[in-house]
Amino acid sequence: MPISFDLSGRVALVTGATRGLGLAIARALAEHGAHVAINSRKPDECEDRARTLTADGLKAEACAFDVADLDAGRRAVADLVQRHGRLDILVNNAGVIHREPLADFSDDDWQRVVNINLNAAFTLSREAGTAMAKAGWGRIINIASIMAMVARPTIPAYVSSKHGLAGLTKALAVELGPSGVTVNAINPGYFATELNQPLVEDAEFDAMVKSRTPVGRWGDPDELAGAALFLASDAGGYVNGASLTVDGGMTAALY
């Protein structure tokens, strides 16, 4: 069977998709035929990004809700399934990080990070996965982090939530695989996104990233979008329960 990245007729929901890695993933899926629901907390930004994609001849719509509101996420998935008759691809990309020394890290900040990064992914995956299983085909892609494998100081909630997301990926892959639904994670390294621009412009941090990454540079968002496209398509149909690290070799090196 020829390798196919064609997503024509597929419906996808990408959370946190109005900028950075999420927007690059949404565009890549749309460019390969999917109808993409663009999510963030901000309706105006969702509408704007959807208009940009449709102006380019692609299929997109706004799907604004706060992933921290688990009930809102449940309703959004149900609405997409009802209106389109299907939901084939879910990309759990929305996430948040909070930096604080351990002694000052509050319970509220811990709960907020874990709720957005892990609980929301579980709820959306449960709702979408149930619909996908009934249809006999589906793709769930969790955007984790290299912090799902290693750690840095002052971000305990982020590290823990991303490790949890890696475990959730395996658990759902095992349960949903027999129904034709694959579940995989992507572990991004350091990418030159709008959100990371202050870090790119920080000479010391920029030098650290480049010196510790074997390819010697930051990643381009399109390079992560390619990994997501592979996992979302028939070309990646036998990949299930995997974590694909896209970090230029950073976590492979010991410097």
pLDDT, position 108: 98
The stretch 227-246 carries a mean pLDDT of 98
- Give dist(CA 117, CA 160) in Å, integer: 10
Options 158, 190, 238, 255, the catalytic residue: 158
Domains delineated in the chain? 11-192+220-243 (3.40.50.720)
Q: Kindly indicate the confidence band of residue 3, based on its pLDDT and cuts at 50, 70 and 90.
A: confident
pLDDT, position 1: 64
Burial 211-250 (b: 16+ CB within 10 A, else e): ebbeeeebbebeebbebbbbbbbeebeeebbbbbbbbbeb
**Please, what is the average pLDDT of the chain?**
97
- Give dist(CA 123, CA 9) in Å, integer: 25
**Strand 138-143, strand 89-92: pairing:** parallel
Q: What is the pLDDT of residues 73-82, one digit of tens each?
A: 999 999 999 9
Residue 252: how many CB atoms within 10 A of its CB? 10
| Whether the predicted pLDDT of 195 surpasses 90 | no
- Give dist(CA 47, CA 64) in Å, integer: 9
As beta bridge partners, residue 181 has 138
| Whether the predicted pLDDT of 246 surpasses 80 | yes
- Give dist(CA 30, CA 37) in Å, integer: 10
Residue 57: how many CB atoms within 10 A of its CB? 8
- Give dist(CA 250, CA 240) in Å, integer: 24
pLDDT, position 163: 98
158 is annotated as an active-site residue? yes
pLDDT, position 2: 77
| Whether the predicted pLDDT of 198 surpasses 80 | yes
